[in-house]
Amino acid sequence: MVKRRSIDLIVLLLISVLVVSASAAIYYAMLAQSTATISAAAVYFTDGGDSSGILTLGTNDTYASLSLNAYPNVTLYYDQAVNLTATSAKEVQLRHVSISPDDNDPSVSNFTSMVFRLIKADGTEVGTLTYTTTGDVWNEPGSPTGYVAIGASEEWTIKIEIKAAAGANTGVSTTIVIAVDVR
Amino acid sequence: MKGIKESLSFKNIRGSIWLVLTVFILFCYLPPSVIGSEYYSVLMQNYGAVVSPSVILQDGIAGASTIYANNTSAKVSVSAPKTNNTEDYVDNNISNIDNSADEGTHSNFTAQQYGPDSINDMLTEGGGGTVWLWQEDTSGYTSTSSYETYQFWSSWTTNSTTSAVITKIGIYVFANPGNSPQVKLGIYNDNGGSPNNLLGETNAATIAGAGWLDLDIVGNGVNISPSTTYHIAHITNTAPTTQWRYLKTATPVSRYRNNTVWPNLFNPAGTTTASTSYRYGAYRVGYDEPCRLDLEVQWTNADYNETNEELAIYVDKENTYSLDATGGYMIIGNGSPDWGSVTGTISFWVKMDTSVQGRFWGQDGNMETRWSGTNLILDWGATASMTSAYSFSADTWYFVAIVWDENSNNLFLYVGDENDVPTLDSNSLTGTWTSTTPAPTENRFMNGLGGSEPVDGHGDDLRYWNIARNLAQIQSDYNTELTGSEINLRSYFKLNNNFDDVGPDNNDGSGSGSYSFSTDVPFPENVRVDVWNATSWQNLFTDLTNGWNNVSVSSYLTSSNFTIRFKGGNESGDGVQDSWNIDVTLLHTWTFVETTYDYVLRVNNTVADSWKIRLKKYSDSNINRLQNCTIYFHNSTDGTSGQICIDNGAYTQDVGAWYDLPSFSTIYIAITVEANSTGTSYVYVYLEILIPNTTTYVQYIITSEIN
């Protein structure tokens, strides 16, 4: 019986040692995570082949503002409107955020469609957000494109296709905000 | 103290340590796992504004162009031009290039030499009638009355060239016997003695007048060989009250058999040779000549040196559609028109597609058709009906006429088909039909009362007359369309893609259930067109369709003489005389030449920015005929740039090289075309406008129509 108790104590001591070691490691990891919040984003915006004159990047390149033209009755293609660059392997998706003017504004019918295509470095299209109009109502994408893996050091692009309605009024505008989710 | 000791026991200490470890693990390890990994979003704001296009499309000066809204799309129409484009009408109808006699007639040949218009040349089949191969002398007779109840026969020896299929046997009646005896006729081999090998016989027929009584041999006729002796015989079911015996002046002698009992015609054993002074029947044998068409027409001064040479024939076939019922049927008017007049005739064409079934027509349970096997029953009147002797089959167009006369108590059924003129069904009721047609319940075609027995098949040319038409009247127009204004015709449905009643009752009908209109029609028969190639006839059309019929004859038109012929689609066994309306017959000849349309459009840069432009094909139709089609840019300084190139109907280049469009400049789009046949081709291209050194571009649409 005494022998059995000794063995139990030895096992408990060993577990305690492991627990102490593990708690030290966890504590260290939590500190490291806290440090990441103040470093550069692993996926951020960069200039594409068509960005000149249309793209303004925000602080840390985590915000992109594009100024696009829309021609009546024809589709204008920005094959490389803005690029996405990854510094480490992540997963990304496109997601609808907001649109203005909103539905029932008479200006909406001046537009026919706006399409955002996520294109991999090898040219493969891996996600699309499509906006079309029906009269004064926007038909927004119902769900995000779904996550796809982007490798470290890869540079992808976002292609934009925009078309105004035949006879659209010059100067009418719309603003569509989309998010690039990273995880 | 005891409590303290127990609490410090090894067991309790060990349990406490486990508890502490468990709580520690829960608080230290699990939270990070639940919280998950790194997640964030970067935002992209897209501001789009409508701007006027900087580059616009503008009209050219060649061809015809249409500029659409915003000057960002356009259509161009050009023609592949022809030289020596000639429409050469047929010259004459007197050709006999194959040394065969014409068969059939023209009504107005010159109508083929102009038009199209309402004036036609009606081609009508010739032939028809009966060719008699052998016929006995009918010039004398005797009134000897000793042999009425006997069976008689004669013999006929063919000559060395006779070879035919006989379908008819006739017997000469000196005077109407008046007592309506029936007679049968037969032909059989000569075996050196009494005839005993039947080759063919007729059905019995009533002797109702004087003169030749000609009857059809049942079945497909009898093959007759050269230099062979045959016997022809007859028998009656009762003795005629007058004679048909004729004086015989030559051999072979006629024979008879005494006490022969009707209808055992073909076992004349125990024969007796008759007196050489008399013959007891004057017979003849022959065959029905089919209705045929063989009319040649000819050009004598045709242009035969062009690259494109077509024969073009315009036809007005009149009867163009039938009702194709597949579970559905036709309702006459609103279903209530009464066709039960005291006298009347209802006729139509019908074809059962897969089996003998369905009810052809009906307006009441006591005035409609139904079936007994393959025999048609007419339920006509409260209790009266008749069943046809005629047996129907599927997949055959039949003409059916139902004729009734309450005054004379007649209910007649006439049946014909595409190859046989209508005849009276032998079971028709003459003077014995005593009934009154009922008022209508539901007047329908291709179905009967209750709508539960539709005909799966085709129906055409439904007519209702308020008189009892006779056979001659029926045969005169059963296979040709009427105008609707004929006397006593009350309702007439041509069923040419509609249910219009063109008769005076004007009871336009409607369809119910599953049906459509089909180009499968019972008349006229097909009409072929052949071309003479210097040695034989070659077929160009197996049937001419309504409207223009065009076919290339370049391989046949090799001299100024050019001959075609019109032929009937059925040239054997055709007992029906068909006709066709030919409006125009001409040769259309021409040669295409290559032509450049410079320029059909302008691409105008309205701003100071420079661009690059190119054309890129995205679709087309019917380009096989394009011998050459080149769409290109040019301006005054940079030369020509071929963008889209089609050679012999195929693309040799479907996207052009980038071409500079400097600031405030204009580029011209030109087209060179050449075709090898008539038609219309379309080439759809994008005009792509690119911002130099980027991949930003816009696509305008340009449609090129080449006639």
Partners of A63 on chain B (C-beta within 8 Å) are 42-45
* Interface-testing mutation among A71, A118, A130, with chain B (most B C-beta atoms within 10 A): A71
Smallest CA–CA separation between B696 and chain A, in Å? 5
Question: A2-36 and B10-28 helices cross at what angle (nearest 10)?
Answer: 20
Is residue B629 within 8 Å of B644, Cβ to Cβ?
yes
Q: What are phi and psi of B550, to 5 degrees?
A: -115, 140
Is the model more confident about B491 or about B259? B491
Question: Quick check: B495 pLDDT over 60?
Answer: yes
Nearest to A45 among B29, B42, B696 (CB): B42
Q: Give the number of other CB atoms < 10 A from CB of residue A65.
A: 18
Smallest CA–CA separation between A173 and chain B, in Å? 4
Question: Quick check: B23 pLDDT over 60?
Answer: no
Question: Which pLDDT band, with edges at 50, 70 and 90, does B15 fall under?
Answer: low
Question: Mean pLDDT in chain A?
Answer: 83
Smallest CA–CA separation between A182 and chain B, in Å? 5
Mean pLDDT for the stretch of residues B461-471: 97
Question: Which pLDDT band, with edges at 50, 70 and 90, does B232 fall under?
Answer: confident
Q: Do B45 and A177 touch (CB under 8 A)?
A: yes
| Rounded Cα distance, B398 and B396, in Å | 6
Are B86-127+292-317+524-591 and B130-288 the same fold in CATH?
Answer: yes
Domain spans of chain B, in order of start:
2-35, 55-81+593-706, 86-127+292-317+524-591, 130-288, 322-514
Question: Quick check: A64 pLDDT over 60?
Answer: yes
Is the model more confident about A116 or about B451? A116
Partners of B13 on chain A (C-beta within 8 Å) are none
Q: What are phi and psi of B626, to 5 degrees?
A: -85, 105
Contacts of B694 (CB under 8 A, 6+ apart): A49, A50, A52, A80
Partners of B53 on chain A (C-beta within 8 Å) are 71-72, 74
Beta strands in B472-526 (DSSP E): 489-493, 510-512, 515-518
Question: Which pLDDT band, with edges at 50, 70 and 90, does A27 fall under?
Answer: very low
Chain B's closest residue to A111, CA to CA, is B50
Question: Which pLDDT band, with edges at 50, 70 and 90, does B269 fall under?
Answer: very low
* Tokens standing for residue B376: 């048609």
Token pair 């100067």: residue:
A171
Mean pLDDT for the stretch of residues B161-171: 89
Helix (H), strand (E) at residue B376: strand B375-380
pLDDT in the model for residue B144 = 47
Ranges B173-187, B247-261, B344-358, most confident: B344-358
Question: Which pLDDT band, with edges at 50, 70 and 90, does B703 fall under?
Answer: very high
Question: Which pLDDT band, with edges at 50, 70 and 90, does B576 fall under?
Answer: confident
Mean pLDDT for the stretch of residues B510-521: 95
Full-model pTM: 0.61
CA dihedral B544, B545, B546, B551 (to 10 degrees): -70
Contacts of B13 (CB under 8 A, 6+ apart): none
Smallest CA–CA separation between B684 and chain A, in Å? 15
| Rounded Cα distance, A85 and A61, in Å | 10
Question: Which pLDDT band, with edges at 50, 70 and 90, does A88 fall under?
Answer: very high
Q: For B604-644, what is each residue's pLDDT tens digit? A: 999 999 999 999 999 999 999 999 999 999 987 878 999 99
On the CB side of B178, CA atoms within 13 Å amount to 4
Distance from first CA to last CA of chain A, Å, rounded? 55
Nearest to B694 among A30, A49, A63 (CB): A49
Helix (H), strand (E) at residue A18: helix A2-36
Mean pLDDT for the stretch of residues A58-84: 93
Chain A's closest residue to B36, CA to CA, is A183
Mean pLDDT for the stretch of residues B495-522: 96
Mean pLDDT for the stretch of residues B355-378: 95
**Fold annotation for B86-127+292-317+524-591:** Jelly Rolls (2.60.120)
3-state secondary structure (DSSP) of residue A12: helix
Nearest to B42 among A80, A162, A180 (CB): A180
Question: Which pLDDT band, with edges at 50, 70 and 90, does B150 fall under?
Answer: low
pLDDT in the model for residue B126 = 92
Is the model more confident about B259 or about B623? B623
Partners of B72 on chain A (C-beta within 8 Å) are 71-74
| Rounded Cα distance, A160 and A176, in Å | 12
**What Å distances lie between residue A76 and A137, B641, B656, B693, B695, CA to CA?**
21, 24, 19, 16, 11
Partners of A175 on chain B (C-beta within 8 Å) are 45-48
Is residue B326 within 8 Å of B402, Cβ to Cβ?
no
Q: For B34-49, what is each residue's pLDDT tens digit? A: 344 568 888 899 999 9
Token pair 């209910």: residue:
B411
Least confident of B1-5, B74-78, B120-124, B573-577: B1-5
3-class SS string, B691-707: CCCCCEEEEEEEEEEEC
Question: Which pLDDT band, with edges at 50, 70 and 90, does B208 fall under?
Answer: confident
* Interface-testing mutation among B50, B67, B687, B694, with chain A (most A C-beta atoms within 10 A): B50
* Interface-testing mutation among B35, B42, B618, with chain A (most A C-beta atoms within 10 A): B42
* Tokens standing for residue B37: 């990994």
Question: Quick check: B525 pLDDT over 60?
Answer: yes
pLDDT in the model for residue B705 = 97
Comparing CA positions, the residue from A128, A45, A124 lying closest to residue A87 is: A45
Is the model more confident about B188 or about A47? A47
Chain A's closest residue to B45, CA to CA, is A177
pLDDT in the model for residue B677 = 82
Question: Quick check: A5 pLDDT over 70?
Answer: no
| Rounded Cα distance, B253 and B194, in Å | 13
Question: Which pLDDT band, with edges at 50, 70 and 90, does B147 fall under?
Answer: very low
Bridge partners, B660 (sequence order): B612
| Rounded Cα distance, B137 and A37, in Å | 129
**What Å distances lie between residue B426 and B390, B443, B569, CA to CA?**
8, 28, 30
Partners of B35 on chain A (C-beta within 8 Å) are none
Q: Which CATH number fits domain B322-514: 3.20.20.80, 2.60.120.200, 3.40.50.880, 3.30.930.10?
A: 2.60.120.200
Mean pLDDT for the stretch of residues B639-653: 94
Question: Quick check: B29 pLDDT over 50?
Answer: no
Chain B's closest residue to A165, CA to CA, is B50
Token pair 């040669």: residue:
B591
Partners of B603 on chain A (C-beta within 8 Å) are none
| Rounded Cα distance, B110 and B357, in Å | 47
pLDDT in the model for residue B289 = 85
The yes/no answer on whether domain B55-81+593-706 falls in CATH 2.60.40 is: yes
pLDDT in the model for residue B145 = 47
* Interface-testing mutation among B33, B43, B52, B71, with chain A (most A C-beta atoms within 10 A): B43
Nearest to A70 among B48, B68, B73 (CB): B48
Q: Do B45 and A162 touch (CB under 8 A)?
A: no
Contacts of B592 (CB under 8 A, 6+ apart): B80, B81, B82, B83, B307, B308, B627, B674, B675, B676
What share of chain B has pLDDT > 70, as a percent?
A: 85
3-state secondary structure (DSSP) of residue A48: coil
Mean pLDDT for the stretch of residues B10-22: 55
pLDDT in the model for residue B188 = 81
Q: For A102-149, what is each residue's pLDDT tens digit? A: 899 999 999 999 999 999 999 999 999 999 999 999 999 999 999 999
Smallest CA–CA separation between A127 and chain B, in Å? 15
pLDDT in the model for residue B250 = 47
| Rounded Cα distance, B38 and B576, in Å | 92
The residue count of chain B comes to 707
| Rounded Cα distance, A41 and A79, in Å | 25
Is residue B561 within 8 Å of B299, Cβ to Cβ?
yes
Q: Do A77 and B32 touch (CB under 8 A)?
A: no
| Rounded Cα distance, B310 and B483, in Å | 34
Question: Quick check: B267 pLDDT over 60?
Answer: no
Question: Quick check: A13 pLDDT over 80?
Answer: no
Is residue B360 within 8 Å of B444, Cβ to Cβ?
no
**What Å distances lie between residue B545 and B316, B367, B558, CA to CA?**
8, 38, 27
> Considering only the top CATH level, what class is B130-288?
mainly beta
Nearest to A68 among B48, B72, B695 (CB): B48
pLDDT in the model for residue B433 = 92
| Rounded Cα distance, B590 and B658, in Å | 39
Comparing CA positions, the residue from B468, B220, B455 lying closest to residue B342 is: B468
Q: Do A182 and B39 touch (CB under 8 A)?
A: yes
Question: Quick check: B265 pLDDT over 90?
Answer: no
pLDDT in the model for residue B110 = 97
Is residue A108 within 8 Å of A137, Cβ to Cβ?
yes
Distance of CA B179 to the CA centre of its chain: 48
Distance from first CA to last CA of chain B, Å, rounded? 117
Q: What are phi and psi of B149, to 5 degrees?
A: -90, 10
Question: Mean pLDDT in chain B?
Answer: 86
Mean pLDDT for the stretch of residues B56-64: 94
Chain B's closest residue to A66, CA to CA, is B46
Tell me the longest C-alpha to C-alpha distance in chain A. Answer: 96
Question: Quick check: B30 pLDDT over 50?
Answer: no
Q: Quick one: A135 exposed, middle or buried, by C-beta within 10 A (0-12, 13-18, 19+)?
A: exposed
**What Å distances lie between residue B319 and B154, B523, B581, CA to CA?**
49, 7, 11
pLDDT in the model for residue B184 = 83
| Rounded Cα distance, B39 and B110, in Å | 91
Mean pLDDT for the stretch of residues B225-250: 69
| Rounded Cα distance, A180 and A43, in Å | 9
| Rounded Cα distance, B501 and B464, in Å | 10
Question: Quick check: B202 pLDDT over 60?
Answer: yes
Partners of A49 on chain B (C-beta within 8 Å) are 694-695
Using the Cβ of B39 and the Cβ atoms of chain A, whether some distance falls under 8 Å is answered with yes
pLDDT in the model for residue A167 = 87
Distance of CA B663 to the CA centre of its chain: 63
